[in-house]
Structure 1
């Protein structure tokens, strides 16, 4: 019973201290990009765009190789 009272007093004392209180006006992660979720959305968009470019260039390269292999054919035997 005494232990519970001490734990409750310590908990209430810590949560009421201004040094540990969280300011609700400032997001937890602020580096100039806005909130954490905004930063995650930007990162997802960048990764999606980068993957799209990679896939496109890969397909373009594969098409080039196909075209090269078709052009190089054996000369006619006549």
Structure 2
């Protein structure tokens, strides 16, 4: 494999994992899901997010791995 290609792929990975969300509608749904989780429980939050067609990988990340959440812009 080309060294330049490997370097460019390696440098792209962190950017892809931690890009800021640009979809305000999806962001609001996820925030409401987090509110549901804190007010009720994780199962209710999962159902809420599923009912709004949030990708299962996103649901898992935001509800079960808070350290992997995107940081909200200040």
Q: Which bin holds the TM-score, normalised by the shorter protein?
A: under 0.3
TM-score, normalization: structure 1?
Answer: 0.25
Instruction: Choose 1 or 2 for highest CA Rg.
Output: 1
* Greater helix proportion: 2
Which one has more relative contact order, counting CA pairs under 8 Å at least 6 apart? 2
